Structure 1
Amino acid sequence: MRFHHNLLQGTVDALHQIFNEGKYADQAIQKILKRDTRWGSRDRGFIAETTYDIVRYKRLYAAIANVKEPFNPADLWRLTAVWIVLKGHDVPAWEEYYNTPVRRIKGKFDELSSDLKYRESIPDWLDDLGRKELGEELWAKEMSALNKQADVVLRANTLQTDVKTLQEKLLAEEIQTTTDERFPDALILNERANVFQTDLFQNGLFEVQDAGSQTIAPYLQVESGMRAMDACAGAGGKSLHLAALMENKGQVIATDIYKGKLHELKRRARRAGAHNIETRLIDSTKVIKKLDSKIDRLLIDAPCSGLGVLRRNPDAKWKLQPEFLDEIRATQQEILQSYSRVVKPEGLMVYATCSILPSENELQVEKFLASEAGSNFELLDSQSLLAHRDGFDGFYMARLLRKN
């Protein structure tokens, strides 16, 4: 493989922003990619994928390179050298790579790879927690899968098209996709492509949404004409899916505490042709009280650690802290306690997270059911998606019935 200095310089600059300045990886990469208009899609893809790869394996690569944070420019170049060697490529004869110890890099990799914390690059505290909650074998399998690059998955917007028609239209634009019978609205890209630039996206024929995420809205069992609520809607990926499943009939009430996210949801809804979504900002408890016992279907896609989506956000494991997990578990229970009141008798509630930890999932549902607020609810069923088993992001969802 022939390397270009300016592309690796872009990678080093992105890594500096992520590791030393605390920027989110996706934002840092997007900023770097705007720097040189001469870069084509292959160049941009190289910078993005190489940066994400080094972020995923920061602990392993730093140990092999014998460098510690904060990384100076020479340290960051050493990280890229480790990446080049471990990918099986020849190290370029550049000043930054003089005296790169290729044999020592390979030997150190072999030595460290027997330790899961280094092999999969996990902070000590998180490795301890994962082993405790999932067991050593399952934790190891899942972390290995979560270090793989995620597929690009589209959800056909059935308000505008169907999977087969969309697949044909994408093929006409030389974008090949594959279907999966487990996910009826999903198209999986055979090769990565910038689908956001297509007229098909601009005209609302699809959204980019992981296949695992696409299982949550159908799990709520909505029907046309119902009144559904997406309690932690964010920018509205699942609200849009609910609107499509309800064929634009009935009402989807999308709530969030962030005005900016709801503004983005409105924009996305217009593009998708989803006319039955109403956004409501949670700026006081009155918003929830007004909906007391008036909702047929409630989705709580709760804020969580995000450990199930590390393939997309590999820097999250470096930003995550133990105290945040304690806070987020308290928030999850608080949301369950307060929002569950809006469900009608005989209505359904789905509690979902993009976490793989039982303490954020099954144990939260058990705690809710044992509380006064949960005494009127019954757990009907639950489902977990795991990256190593199901091939997509990790999710948990539980469906509960309000009895009276």
Structure 2
Amino acid sequence: MRLHRNLCFATVDGLLQIFNEGMYADKVVQMLLKRDKRWGSRDRGFVAETTYDIVRWKRLYAEIAEVKEPFSRDDIWRLFAVWATLKGIKLPDWKYFENTPSRKIKGRFDELSQIRKIKESFPDWIDELAVKELGEKVWNKEAIALNEQADVILRVNTLKTTKEKLQAELFDLEIETEFIKGYPDALKLAVRGNVFITEAFQNGHFEVQDASSQLVAEFLDVKPGMKVVDTCAGAGGKTLHIAALMENKGQVIAMDIYDNKLKELKRRAKRDGAHNIEMRVIDSTKPIKKLYDKADRVLIDAPCSGLGVLRRNPDAKWKLQPEFIEKIKKTQQEILESYSKMVKPGGKLVYATCSILPSENQDQVKHFLDSENGKDFTFVKDKKILSHESGFDGFYMALLEKKI
């Protein structure tokens, strides 16, 4: 591979924004990809993948390069040189790469690869917490899996097409996909690509949604004609799946504390032809209280650490703080306590997170069931998904039923 100056400069600029200014990697990459209209798909792919790669392995590369944060521009070039050297890419004769100690880089890599938290590039506190909660053996495997690049998974919008028809439609566009056993609405891209520019996407034939995330709506056991509440709907990936499973019959109430996310859901619902979704902003306790004992199904896709989705959000491990984990666990308990009151007798509740930590998952469900309000519910089943076992995002979901 030959390195091109303008692509490398773009990557370095992006990394400075992510590491020093705290900007989100996905937003930075989106901006970088619009930087030069002459770039082809291969150029844009290089910028995106190299940026994410160096973000993912920040700790390892920084230890090898012997640089510390906040990084100077020269420090970022050193990280870039480490990345290129370890990838076997020949460094061009540029001043930024003068005196790059290639042999020393490889030697340092071999030496530091003996230490898991450096080799797999995790902050000390995450490594310690994961060992404490998952055990050394499981975390060894999960840490490796969370550093793998995530596949692009589509969820077929069954309101408009079928899996077979969508596969054929994309094949005509030279986009190859494959079915995934055990995931009824999923198609996996054989090769990563920009599917958002396709007519199939613009016509609402699919959404991009990880395979693990697609299991949540199925787990909720919805039926056409029900009243279903998605309490932390966000931009509505799971809401849209619920509406499709309900065949547009009945009512889906999408709730969130952020109005702008619900506006995005409204736009997506229109494209998908999902007509049974109603948006409600949680701006006080009133919207919740109005629904007490009214819903057949309630989904609590709770805010969490996001440690299960680091493959697609590698910068999150550098932004997360131990205090946030403790704070979010209190929020999870409060949400479960409050939002569960919307379930009517005989109705069902799913508590879900994209975390791999038992303290955010099984422990929260147990805590709720032991509470005054939780005594009205019985535990039905749960599902723990780890990336190293599934090949997809880490997730948790528990199904509870309200006693009659």
TM-score range, shorter chain: over 0.9
1:332 corresponds in structure 2 to: 332
Structure 1 residue 160: Cα displacement: 0.2
Query: 2: CA distance between counterparts of 1:131 and 1:373?
Result: 32
Q: Secondary structure at the match of 1:333?
A: helix
1:65-124: CA deviation from partner (whole Å, max 9, x where unpaired)? 000111111110010110011112222221111111000000000000011110110101
Give ranges in structure 2 of 5+ residues lacking alignment: none
- Give the letter for the 1:159 counterpart: L
Residues 52-91 of structure 1 aligned to structure 2 (within 5 Å): 52-91=52-91
Query: 1: CA distance between counterparts of 2:394 and 2:162?
Result: 26
1:29 corresponds in structure 2 to: 29
Query: 2: CA distance between counterparts of 1:176 and 1:92?
Result: 35
2:144 corresponds in structure 1 to: 144
1:2-32: CA deviation from partner (whole Å, max 9, x where unpaired)? 1111111111011000001110001111111
- Give the letter for the 1:112 counterpart: L
Structure 1 residue 35: Cα displacement: 1.2
1:369 corresponds in structure 2 to: 369
Q: Secondary structure at the match of 2:23?
A: coil
Q: Secondary structure at the match of 1:128?
A: helix
Residues 116-195 of structure 1 aligned to structure 2 (within 5 Å): 116-195=116-195
2:346 corresponds in structure 1 to: 346
Query: 1: CA distance between counterparts of 2:21 and 2:41?
Result: 26
Q: Secondary structure at the match of 1:151?
A: coil
Aligned-pair RMSD on alpha carbons?
Answer: 0.6
Structure 1 residue 284: Cα displacement: 1.1
Query: 1: CA distance between counterparts of 2:301 and 2:4?
Result: 43
What is the TM-score of this pair, normalised by structure 2?
0.99
Structure 1 residue 61: Cα displacement: 0.1
- Give the letter for the 1:184 counterpart: P
1:317 equivalent to 2:304? Answer no
What is the TM-score of this pair, normalised by structure 1?
0.99
Query: 1: CA distance between counterparts of 2:91 and 2:104?
Result: 14
2:391 corresponds in structure 1 to: 391
1:289-339: CA deviation from partner (whole Å, max 9, x where unpaired)? 111101001100000000000001000000000100111000001000000
Q: Secondary structure at the match of 1:375?
A: helix
2:279 corresponds in structure 1 to: 279
1:382 equivalent to 2:378? Answer no
Query: 1: CA distance between counterparts of 2:70 and 2:37?
Result: 30
1:153-198: CA deviation from partner (whole Å, max 9, x where unpaired)? 0000000001000000000011000111211110100111110001
- Give the letter for the 1:250 counterpart: G
Query: 1: CA distance between counterparts of 2:246 and 2:33?
Result: 39
1:23-55: CA deviation from partner (whole Å, max 9, x where unpaired)? 000111111111111111110010000010000
1:11 corresponds in structure 2 to: 11
Query: 2: CA distance between counterparts of 1:72 and 1:284?
Result: 45
Query: 2: CA distance between counterparts of 1:26 and 1:181?
Result: 29
Structure 1 residue 246: Cα displacement: 0.3
Structure 1 residue 385: Cα displacement: 1.0
Query: 2: CA distance between counterparts of 1:373 and 1:291?
Result: 16
- Give the letter for the 2:258 counterpart: Y
Query: 2: CA distance between counterparts of 1:180 and 1:263?
Result: 31
Query: 2: CA distance between counterparts of 1:340 and 1:33?
Result: 43
Residues 277-316 of structure 1 aligned to structure 2 (within 5 Å): 277-316=277-316
Structure 1 residue 354: Cα displacement: 0.1
Query: 2: CA distance between counterparts of 1:247 and 1:129?
Result: 42
Query: 2: CA distance between counterparts of 1:143 and 1:316?
Result: 14
Query: 1: CA distance between counterparts of 2:269 and 2:143?
Result: 35
1:50 corresponds in structure 2 to: 50
Query: 1: CA distance between counterparts of 2:283 and 2:26?
Result: 29
Query: 2: CA distance between counterparts of 1:32 and 1:222?
Result: 41
1:266 corresponds in structure 2 to: 266
Q: Secondary structure at the match of 2:375?
A: coil
Query: 2: CA distance between counterparts of 1:9 and 1:386?
Result: 36
- Give the letter for the 1:31 counterpart: M
Query: 2: CA distance between counterparts of 1:137 and 1:80?
Result: 32
1:255 equivalent to 2:266? Answer no
2:356 corresponds in structure 1 to: 356
Query: 1: CA distance between counterparts of 2:92 and 2:36?
Result: 22
Query: 1: CA distance between counterparts of 2:81 and 2:183?
Result: 40
Structure 1 residue 245: Cα displacement: 0.2
- Give the letter for the 2:41 counterpart: S
Query: 1: CA distance between counterparts of 2:361 and 2:381?
Result: 13
1:237 corresponds in structure 2 to: 237
Query: 1: CA distance between counterparts of 2:152 and 2:230?
Result: 24
Q: Secondary structure at the match of 1:35?
A: coil
1:402 corresponds in structure 2 to: 402
Paired residues, number? 404
Query: 1: CA distance between counterparts of 2:394 and 2:283?
Result: 31
- Give the letter for the 2:309 counterpart: V
